[in-house]
C-alpha cells in the first residue's frame, strides 16, 4: 500500500456470544487525521477501537498498520497508544511515574525519560504536577495525565475511547479545543470514539457514523451534517424533520401535500423517498411568503435560539429561529430547494433503535470476554 | 446525641469485657502476689528477657521463624492459586472458590488431626511409601510437620484476600499497561503486583498472626520438640498456674501483634485510596 | 481480569490448581475413607464397617459436648446479635474521637490472638471470683462474637439513606413505627449475617473456650482436642465425616438459597 493510509480495516467482523457487533467493516484512516467513530451505544465503535488497539481480535478480516498486517499482534507490540475511557491511570504511581511508565518499559536512560516526561507534561499543561498522586487530581487533570502517558511513547496513532465522557460540560468544551491543539502539535493520527455528535463535529477531520455494526457514512463534519446519506445519519447528527415523500421527477419532490423544487435527481419516477430537513433551514416568515404554512404549537427558548413547533396538517415541523413566535399564530416557513435532503427509503426498524441507551449489545462497553 | 442510653450501656459493656481483661493481663504481668499482699515487680519480664539463659527468647524467636516460614510458603503457594482462580470465568470461579472455603468450615482441630494420621510413623503416607519401596518420611513431631499444619490450616486466609482483590482489578489498568508496551510479565510485576499489595499484606497478617500464637498445631504435630510461644503461655495457665509469667508473655506477644497490625494497616490506608 | 493465556499457561494453571485442591482435600478424603474402615489400623483396610459411627453415637461425652456446643452457639449468637446491633446503632450515631476509641475497643477481640483473648477473659473471671462453667463460657462467646455482629451491621447503617427515617416520619409515621418499619428492614440483612457469623465463630472456637470453661463442661472442640491428645482414634474419623457432610450440606443449601442454581454448578467445566 503506497498510499498514506496509516490504518486499514478490511472486512472486519466480530461477534460476542452469537451477536454480531461488527459486520464486515472496511475503513481506511489517513496518516495525521483526526477521525471520529460516532454512533449510539452498541453501534460497534468501541469494539472497532479495541480491535485497532489489539485488546480484541476480530473473528475474521484483517487490520493493517502502515501496510503491515497486525491482526494478531498483541497490544504491547503495536505502535499505537490508547487513552482509556476512565483514564486507567495507575493509582500507586504519581503523575511523573505514570507518564514514565512506557518509557521505563523501553528501558530508556533516566535522563531521556525525564526530558520526555517533562516535555509531555508541558504539552498537556501539567508542569509542576510531577510528584502529585493521580488519585488526588481532578477529572480534567487525570485526563491530561492519561494523554501525556499515551503520547510519551511517541505512537503513530492515538486511540481515544470516549475520553471526555466523565467530565462536566464546561470542562468538556475546553478539553475539545485542547485535544485538537494537542493533535495538531503532536502531528499524529487521532482515532476518537464518542456518542456525542457535537464533540465529533467540533474536533474531527473525518467522521465515521456507525450503527448496529455497520458504517453508515464516512465524511467531513460538513458533509455528514449537510449531506446525510440516510435517515439514521440525519437523525443521529443534529435534529431534523423527517417525512415520507415521493420523487415526482428530477428536481421535483412531493411531501406533506405539496410539491417542492429540490436539487436532487437520478431517482425513478414516483419513487418513494425520505425527506430530511434541518430545523435551522426552516426560515420564519409571514404566512403569505412561506412555502409551508402552519400553526405555532409551542415555542421554547433553548439558550441560543427558540425551538418552534409548527403544525401543518398531519405533520409537526420543528424550526430553529432567533425570533420568538406566538403559539396559536399562523405563520409561514420558507424552505430553500437546497435545504431539502432526499434519501432512499430506509428500513426504519433497522435505523432507529427504540432507545439506543437500553439496546442490548452487552460486550460493547464491557470488559472483554 | 441520639441513643444515649444504648451507647452508654455499651460503653460499660465494652470496658468490662474488652478493656478490663487486657488491663488485668498488664496488672498480673507487673505484680507479684505474696499471700494477701500485692506488689509491683518487673520480675516476669526480666525472667523472659534473661540474657544469661535466653530459653524463652529463643522460643519466641523460633515461633517467629516458623510462623514466618509458614507465611512465606502460604504466599508463594497462595498467590498463584488466587491468580488462577481469579482469571477463570465468573461461574467456574464462583464454584471453585466455594470448594476452597469448604475445608475452612471443617473444625480446625479435625483438620489438624487429619495430618496426624497421615504423617505418623505408621501413618498413611509412610505405608504408601514403603509399598512403593521408598524410604519413610520422618517428619511427624518435627518443625516441618508444624509448618505443614500451619500452611494447611491458614492457606485459605492468604488466598481469599488476594483473590478478592484480583477479581476486582480494573481490566483497563492491565490494558493500559499492555498498551504502553509492557509484556504480560512486565504487566504482572509492574501493575498487578503493586495493585494486590494491600491484599498480600492483609493475607500475611491473617496467616502470620494465628501461626505465631498457636499452641494446638505445635502440640498435635510438633509434640514436645517444637514448643512455640503459645505452648509456653498455655502451660503457665493450664499446668503451672503462673499467671504473672503467662501474662507477661501475653503482653509481649500482644505488642508484637499490634505492632504488625499497625505496620500493615498504615500501608493499607495509603494504598487503598483508589 | 480475564487475560489471554497461552495453551501452556492453561495446562500449567490447571495442574497447579489440581495440586492445591489435592493438598486441601486429600487429608479430609483419607479421614472419610478411614471412618468406614473395620480395622483400627490406619495402614490396612479391614473391610467396610459402620462400627465407628455406632460407637461414636454411644459416646456420651461427645453427645453431651455436641449439645453444649449447639446451645452455646445459639445463645451466645442471639445475645451477641442484640448487643452488637444496639452497639452498632450507638456507634453509628457517635461522632468525633470517642467514636473511634469505642470502635477500636470493639474490634480488640477480633484483632487480638485468640490465646490472648482467652487468657484475658480467664483472668477477668478469676479476678472477680466468678466460678467457671457454662456461664463463663457463654459470657466469653458473647464477648468475642460482638465484633462480628458490629462489623456486619455497621456498613448497612452507613449505606442507609439518612433521609429515609425523616421521609417515613414526614409521611406520617411515628418515630417508633418508623424505626421498626424502615430502619430495621434496611439493616436486617446485616443483622442476619452477623448472627450467622457469630454462630460459625462460636462453633469453630477452641482456644478461647479452652481457657474459659470450667470442670465438667466441654464443647465439641475441647472434646476433640482431648481425644486427639490421647492419640489417633477412629471415632474422630467418623465425627469428621459427619461434620464434613453437614458443612457441605449447609454450604450447598446456602448457595441454592442465594439464587445460584444447582444446574449452573454442574454444567461448569
CATH of the domain at A33: 3.40.50.300
Evaluate whether residue A251 is within a structural domain: yes
Residue B87's alpha-carbon distances to B80, B91, B164, B188, in angstroms, are 11, 11, 11, 13
> What percent of chain A clears pLDDT 90, i.e. is strictly above it?
51
Written as nine digits, the cell of B65 is 521463624
- The pLDDT of residue C43: 67
Interchain proximity B180–A101, CB inside 8 Å: yes
- The pLDDT of residue A270: 87
B273 and A CB contact within 8 Å: yes
Beta strands at A330-334 and A292-301: parallel, antiparallel or unpaired: antiparallel
- The pLDDT of residue C9: 86
Mean pLDDT of C60-69: 92
Evaluate whether residue A357 is within a structural domain: no
In angstroms, what separates the C-alpha of C131 from chain B's closest C-alpha?
A: 16
DSSP C130: P
* pLDDT single digits (tens) A199-226: 999 899 999 999 999 999 999 999 898 8
- The pLDDT of residue B140: 85
Mean pLDDT of C28-52: 84
Q: Residues A126, A219: one domain?
A: yes
Can you tell me the distance from the alpha carbon of A92 to that of A123, in angstroms, rounded to the nearest whole number?
23
Partners of residue B271 in chain A, C-beta under 8 Å: 92
Query: Closest Cα partner for A256 from A244, A268, A247, A265?
Result: A244
- The pLDDT of residue A346: 56
Query: Closest Cα partner for A273 from A350, A357, A344?
Result: A344
Interchain proximity B195–A86, CB inside 8 Å: no
Which 45-74 residues of chain A touch chain C by CB within 8 A?
74
* pLDDT single digits (tens) B232-274: 999 999 999 899 999 999 999 999 888 887 887 655 444 333 2
Burial B252-272 (b: 16+ CB within 10 A, else e): bbbebbeebbeebeeebeebe
Residue A312's alpha-carbon distances to A256, A291, A326, in angstroms, are 8, 11, 16
Q: Residues A89, A187: one domain?
A: yes
Mean pLDDT of B14-20: 94
- The pLDDT of residue B266: 56
Query: Residue B154, SS3?
Result: helix
Interchain proximity B77–C20, CB inside 8 Å: yes
DSSP C82: H
B178 burial (CB, 10 Å; 0-12 / 13-18 / 19+) is buried
Evaluate whether residue A38 is within a structural domain: yes
Mean pLDDT of B220-229: 86
B143 burial (CB, 10 Å; 0-12 / 13-18 / 19+) is middle
* pLDDT single digits (tens) A227-262: 888 888 888 888 888 888 898 888 899 998 889 988
Residue C74's alpha-carbon distances to A210, B72, B127, C192, C203, in angstroms, are 62, 37, 43, 13, 9
Mean of pLDDT over chain B: 88
| Angle at which helices B197-213 and B243-271 cross, to 10° | 170
Query: Residue C72, SS3?
Result: helix
User: At residue A354, does pLDDT exceed 70?
Assistant: no
Higher pLDDT, A299 or C231: A299
Mean pLDDT of C177-197: 86
- H/E element, C14: helix C7-35
User: At residue C215, does pLDDT exceed 80?
Assistant: yes
In angstroms, what separates the C-alpha of C174 from chain B's closest C-alpha?
A: 16
Can you tell me the distance from the alpha carbon of B67 to that of B57, in angstroms, rounded to the nearest whole number?
15
Evaluate whether residue A231 is within a structural domain: no
Q: Residues A35, A92: one domain?
A: yes
Q: Residues A200, A248: one domain?
A: no
What's chain A's length in residues? 369
Domain total of chain C = 1
Q: Residues A216, A113: one domain?
A: yes
* pLDDT single digits (tens) C97-122: 889 999 989 998 888 999 999 999 99
Locus of grid cell 446519506: A229
Are C102 and C170 in contact by the 8 Å Cβ rule? The answer is: no
Written as nine digits, the cell of C93 is 450515631
DSSP A291: S
Mean pLDDT of C198-223: 93
- The pLDDT of residue B58: 93
- The pLDDT of residue B272: 34
Interchain proximity C2–A74, CB inside 8 Å: no
- The pLDDT of residue B202: 92
CATH number at residue C97: 1.10.3720.10
Beta strands at A306-312 and A330-334: parallel, antiparallel or unpaired: unpaired
Evaluate whether residue A359 is within a structural domain: no
- The pLDDT of residue A235: 83
Evaluate whether residue C8 is within a structural domain: no
Mean of pLDDT over chain C: 86
Q: Note down the domain range covering A310.
A: 239-349
User: At residue C245, does pLDDT exceed 80?
Assistant: yes
Evaluate whether residue A63 is within a structural domain: yes
A neighbours by CB contacts (3+ pairs under 8 Å): B, C
Domain total of chain A = 2
Q: Note down the domain range covering C203.
A: 60-236
Q: Residues A251, A131: one domain?
A: no
Among A86, A93, A102, beta carbon nearest to B172: A86
User: At residue B228, does pLDDT exceed 90?
Assistant: yes
Can you tell me the distance from the alpha carbon of A284 to that of A335, in angstroms, rounded to the nearest whole number?
9
**Which of A226, A255, A272 is at the close of a domain?**
A226
- The pLDDT of residue B16: 94
Interchain proximity B177–A54, CB inside 8 Å: no
Confidence of residue B22 (pLDDT cuts 50, 70, 90): very high
- The pLDDT of residue C263: 33
Query: Residue A315, SS3?
Result: strand
* pLDDT single digits (tens) B73-95: 999 999 999 999 998 888 888 88
Query: Of B135-144, B175-184, B204-213, which range is least confident?
Result: B135-144
**Which of A204, A226, A248 is at the close of a domain?**
A226
Mean pLDDT of C246-266: 64
Burial A323-337 (b: 16+ CB within 10 A, else e): eebeeeeebbbebee
Confidence of residue B131 (pLDDT cuts 50, 70, 90): confident
Would you kindly state where each structural domain of chain B is located, as residue ranges? Answer: 1-41, 54-271
- The pLDDT of residue B2: 57
The two most distant CA atoms of chain C are separated, in Å, by 75
Mean pLDDT of A171-192: 90
* Fold assignment, B54-271: MetI-like fold (1.10.3720)
If you measure CA to CA, which chain C residue comes closest to B171?
C1
- The pLDDT of residue A229: 85
- Top-confidence range, A301-315, B129-143, C207-221: C207-221
Are B205 and B212 in contact by the 8 Å Cβ rule? The answer is: no
Confidence of residue A152 (pLDDT cuts 50, 70, 90): very high
Among A93, A105, A133, beta carbon nearest to B182: A105
Can you tell me the distance from the alpha carbon of C52 to that of C31, in angstroms, rounded to the nearest whole number?
12
Counting one residue from chain A and one from chain C, the pairs whose CB atoms sit within 8 A come to 4
Helices of type H across chain B: 4-14, 20-29, 43-48, 55-86, 90-105, 108-119, 124-131, 143-167, 171-179, 184-187, 193-195, 197-213, 216-217, 229-238, 243-271
Evaluate whether residue C72 is within a structural domain: yes
User: Nearest 5°: phi and psi at C141?
Assistant: -65, -40
Mean pLDDT of C63-70: 93
- The pLDDT of residue C120: 96
Mean of pLDDT over chain A: 87
Query: Closest Cα partner for A95 from A121, A122, A125, A123?
Result: A121
Are C102 and B14 in contact by the 8 Å Cβ rule? The answer is: yes
Can you tell me the distance from the alpha carbon of C201 to that of C114, in angstroms, rounded to the nearest whole number?
12
**Which of A181, A197, A226 is at the close of a domain?**
A226
Locus of grid cell 413505627: C177
End-to-end CA distance of chain B: 33
- The pLDDT of residue C259: 52
Amino acid at each position: 500500500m503506497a498510499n498514506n493510509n496509516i490504518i486499514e480495516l478490511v472486512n472486519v467482523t466480530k461477534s460476542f456470544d452469537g451477536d454480531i457487533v461488527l459486520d464486515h467493516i472496511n475503513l481506511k484512516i489517513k496518516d495525521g487525521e483526526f477521525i471520529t467513530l460516532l454512533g449510539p451505544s452498541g453501534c460497534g465503535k468501541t469494539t472497532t477501537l479495541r480491535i485497532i488497539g489489539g485488546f480484541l481480535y476480530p473473528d475474521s478480516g484483517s487490520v493493517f498498520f502502515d501496510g503491515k498486517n497486525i491482526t494478531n499482534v498483541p497490544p504491547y507490540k503495536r505502535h499505537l497508544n490508547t487513552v482509556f475511557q476512565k483514564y486507567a491511570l495507575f493509582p500507586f504511581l504519581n503523575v511523573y511515574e505514570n507518564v514514565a511508565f512506557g518509557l521505563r518499559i523501553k528501558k530508556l536512560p533516566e535522563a531521556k525519560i525525564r526530558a520526555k516526561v517533562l516535555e509531555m507534561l508541558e504539552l498537556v499543561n501539567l508542569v509542576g504536577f510531577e510528584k502529585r498522586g493521580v488519585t488526588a487530581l481532578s477529572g480534567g487533570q487525570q485526563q491530561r495525565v492519561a494523554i501525556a502517558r499515551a503520547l510519551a511513547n511517541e505512537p503513530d496513532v492515538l486511540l481515544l475511547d470516549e475520553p471526555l465522557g466523565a467530565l462536566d460540560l464546561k470542562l468538556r468544551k475546553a478539553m475539545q479545543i485542547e485535544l485538537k491543539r494537542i493533535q495538531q502539535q503532536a502531528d499524529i493520527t487521532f482515532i476518537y470514539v464518542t456518542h456525542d455528535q457535537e464533540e465529533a463535529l467540533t474536533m474531527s477531520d473525518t467522521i465515521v457514523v456507525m450503527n448496529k455494526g455497520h458504517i453508515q457514512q464516512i465524511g467531513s463534519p460538513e458533509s455528514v451534517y449537510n449531506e446525510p446519506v440516510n435517515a439514521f445519519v440525519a437523525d443521529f447528527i443534529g435534529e431534523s424533520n423527517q417525512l415520507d415523500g415521493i420523487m415526482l421527477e428530477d428536481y421535483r419532490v412531493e411531501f406533506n401535500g405539496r410539491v417542492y423544487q429540490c436539487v436532487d435527481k437520478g431517482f425513478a419516477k414516483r419513487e418513494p423517498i425520505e425527506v430530511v430537513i434541518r430545523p435551522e433551514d426552516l426560515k420564519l416568515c409571514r404566512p403569505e411568503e412561506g412555502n409551508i404554512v402552519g400553526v405555532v404549537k409551542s415555542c421554547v427558548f433553548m439558550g441560543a435560539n427558540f425551538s418552534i413547533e409548527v403544525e401543518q396538517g398531519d405533520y409537526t415541523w420543528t424550526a430553529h429561529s432567533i425570533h420568538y413566535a406566538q403559539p396559536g399564530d399562523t405563520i409561514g416557513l420558507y424552505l430553500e430547494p437546497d435545504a431539502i435532503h432526499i434519501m432512499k427509503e430506509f428500513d426504519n426498524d433497522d435505523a432507529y433503535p427504540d432507545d439506543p441507551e437500553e439496546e442490548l449489545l452487552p460486550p460493547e462497553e464491557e470488559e472483554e470476554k | 446525641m441520639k441513643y444515649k442510653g444504648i451507647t452508654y450501656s455499651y460503653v460499660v459493656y465494652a470496658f468490662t469485657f474488652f478493656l478490663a481483661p487486657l488491663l488485668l493481663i498488664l496488672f498480673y504481668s507487673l505484680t507479684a502476689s505474696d499471700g494477701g499482699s500485692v506488689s509491683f515487680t518487673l520480675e516476669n519480664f526480666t525472667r523472659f528477657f534473661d540474657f544469661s539463659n535466653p530459653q524463652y527468647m529463643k522460643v519466641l524467636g523460633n515461633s517467629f521463624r516458623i510462623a514466618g516460614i509458614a507465611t512465606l510458603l502460604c504466599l508463594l503457594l497462595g498467590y498463584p492459586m488466587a491468580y488462577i482462580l481469579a482469571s477463570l470465568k465468573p461461574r467456574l470461579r464462583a464454584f471453585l472458590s466455594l470448594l476452597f472455603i469448604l475445608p475452612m468450615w471443617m473444625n480446625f482441630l479435625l483438620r489438624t488431626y487429619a495430618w496426624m494420621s497421615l504423617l505418623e510413623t505408621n501413618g498413611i503416607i509412610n505405608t504408601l511409601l514403603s509399598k512403593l519401596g521408598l524410604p519413610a518420611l520422618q517428619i511427624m513431631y518435627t518443625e516441618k510437620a508444624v509448618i505443614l499444619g500451619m500452611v494447611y490450616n491458614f492457606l485459605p486466609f492468604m488466598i481469599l484476600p488476594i483473590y478478592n482483590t484480583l477479581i476486582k482489578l480494573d481490566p483497563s489498568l492491565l490494558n493500559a499497561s499492555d498498551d504502553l508496551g509492557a509484556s504480560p510479565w512486565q504487566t504482572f510485576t509492574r501493575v498487578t503486583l503493586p495493585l494486590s499489595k494491600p491484599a498480600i499484606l492483609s493475607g500475611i497478617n491473617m496467616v502470620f498472626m494465628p501461626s505465631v500464637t498457636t499452641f494446638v498445631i505445635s502440640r498435635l504435630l510438633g509434640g514436645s520438640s517444637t514448643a512455640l510461644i503459645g505452648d509456653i503461655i498455655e502451660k503457665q495457665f493450664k499446668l503451672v498456674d503462673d499467671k504473672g509469667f503467662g501474662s507477661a508473655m501475653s503482653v509481649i506477644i500482644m505488642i508484637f501483634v499490634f505492632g504488625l497490625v499497625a505496620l500493615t494497616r498504615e500501608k493499607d490506608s495509603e494504598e487503598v485510596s483508589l | 481480569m480475564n487475560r489471554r493465556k497461552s495453551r501452556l499457561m492453561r495446562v500449567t494453571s490447571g495442574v497447579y490448581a489440581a495440586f492445591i485442591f489435592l493438598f486441601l482435600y486429600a487429608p479430609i478424603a483419607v479421614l472419610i475413607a478411614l471412618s468406614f474402615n473395620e480395622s483400627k489400623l490406619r495402614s490396612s483396610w479391614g473391610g467396610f464397617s459402620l462400627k465407628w459411627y455406632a460407637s461414636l453415637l454411644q459416646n456420651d461425652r461427645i453427645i453431651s459436648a455436641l449439645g453444649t456446643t449447639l446451645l452455646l452457639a445459639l445463645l451466645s449468637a442471639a445475645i451477641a446479635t442484640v448487643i452488637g446491633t444496639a452497639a452498632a446503632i450507638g456507634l453509628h450515631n457517635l461522632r468525633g474521637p470517642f467514636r473511634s476509641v469505642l470502635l477500636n475497643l470493639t474490634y480488640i477481640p477480633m484483632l487480638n490472638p485468640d490465646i490472648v483473648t482467652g487468657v484475658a477473659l480467664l483472668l477477668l473471671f478469676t479476678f472477680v471470683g466468678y466460678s467457671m462453667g457454662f456461664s463463663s463460657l457463654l459470657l466469653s462467646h458473647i464477648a468475642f462474637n460482638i465484633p462480628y455482629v458490629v462489623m456486619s451491621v455497621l456498613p448497612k447503617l452507613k449505606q442507609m439513606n439518612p433521609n429515609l427515617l425523616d421521609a417515613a416520619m414526614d409521611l406520617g409515621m411515628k418515630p417508633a413505627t418508623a424505626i421498626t418499619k424502615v430502619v430495621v428492614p434496611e439493616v436486617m440483612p446485616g443483622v442476619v449475617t452477623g448472627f450467622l457469623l457469630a454462630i460459625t465463630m462460636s462453633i469453630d472456637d477452641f482456644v478461647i473456650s479452652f481457657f474459659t470453661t470450667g470442670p465438667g463442661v466441654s464443647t465439641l472442640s475441647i472434646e476433640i482436642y482431648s481425644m486427639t491428645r490421647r492419640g489417633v482414634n477412629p471415632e474422630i474419623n467418623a465425627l469428621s465425616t459427619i461434620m464434613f457432610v453437614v458443612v457441605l450440606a449447609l454450604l450447598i443449601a446456602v448457595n441454592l438459597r442465594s439464587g445460584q442454581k444447582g444446574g449452573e454448578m454442574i454444567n461448569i467445566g
